Amino acid sequence: MKLHRPAVSVYTVPTDAPEADGTLAWDTTTVVITEVSAGGSTGTGWTYGPAAVGDFLAEHLAPLVEGRSALDVPAAHDAMCRAVRNAGRPGIAGCAISALDIALWDLKARLLELPLVRLLGACREQVPVYGSGGFTTYHDTHLEAQLNGWVHGQHIPRVKIKIGEGRGGEAARDLARVRSARQVIGDRAELYVDANGAYTRKQAVRVGVALAEHGVGWFEEPVSSDDLTGLRLVRDALVSDVTAGEYGYDLAYFARMITAGAVDCLQIDATRCGGPTEFLRAAALAQAHGLEVSAHCAPHAHAAPAAAIPNLRHIEWFHDHVRIEDMFFDGALDPTGGTVSPTADLGHGLTLRAEEIAEFRVA
């Protein structure tokens, strides 16, 4: 069965409120979707990034995979990675490869009449999730409502908020928001924070010591994820787990982060790193070094691959992406109780609602 040329569409969705973290602010989210067909079935993949990802996919990758075997996903993946040598893989090219790889695995599972999790091989039936949002732009009542919804409404026992406001310039407010979050969720729920690389090294240590007083067990990107020495310094100084890895676009990136001793838990994003193909490889690399992994954002792209690895900690139930994936697809998962179960339907189980979301299409 030979692949037809993939189709590409791009959608931009306004956020439901102003959003920001420690180093960036935004009011829209753009999702690039690709569909690839063979043998009467269609696979769907997606990534989050600028519209240029769609242009790159359509111009450079779609002709490359056309005519290849629909069953030999690793061969198509390798061809795409080789083809972007001069363009550079991190960023736009990496996101484009990831979206198409997700679509190719979905298609293969559908052709074989299997759920994707069964094609990959399941290690677990349920995948833990954590609620993620808590943007620095949220006023206190908004933050409280979101946390309440996760912990007391959906019974998700682990949640994460953003800190590092103003590139680390509002540390007192960061800690005040953490105190408020702990009061809302109670003592039993796990509390995580994400600074998005906003702090300096010593500042991150000082903040991290204060965070421990509120039972924060996960300190994501306390310093830039490019500062592997800084991550190791902060990791060695704190009791909370230091985590990073979401900006990994290839396996070599994860190898550098792991061998630097920079993290306690490695984050991997299948919509950036190269789809399920590279997600599984990065997870195996982490396991070889005694590390757990956590899937970053795009939860429905991760449910099946996450269920296929033994060293999974959880996947991120990220507010923006959950909202979009619920709007865009039939077959969205339910995190009530703090876990999701990969679909028993064919492929990843999602079907694009093209007509219902037409108003958001920009390309």
pTM over 0.95: yes
Q: pLDDT, tens digit, for every residue of 235-277?
A: 999 999 999 999 999 999 999 999 999 999 999 999 999 999 9
pLDDT-above-70 percentage for the chain: 100
Task: Identify the pLDDT of residue 76.
Answer: 98
Q: pLDDT, tens digit, for every residue of 26-37?
A: 999 999 999 999
Task: Identify the pLDDT of residue 83.
Answer: 98
Sorted by sequence, the CB contacts under 8 Å of residue 43 that are 6+ apart come out as 35, 36, 37, 102, 103, 104, 105, 106, 107, 108, 109, 110, 347
Q: pLDDT, tens digit, for every residue of 297-344?
A: 999 999 999 999 999 999 999 999 999 999 999 999 999 999 999 999
Q: pLDDT, tens digit, for every residue of 108-137?
A: 999 999 999 999 999 999 999 999 999 999
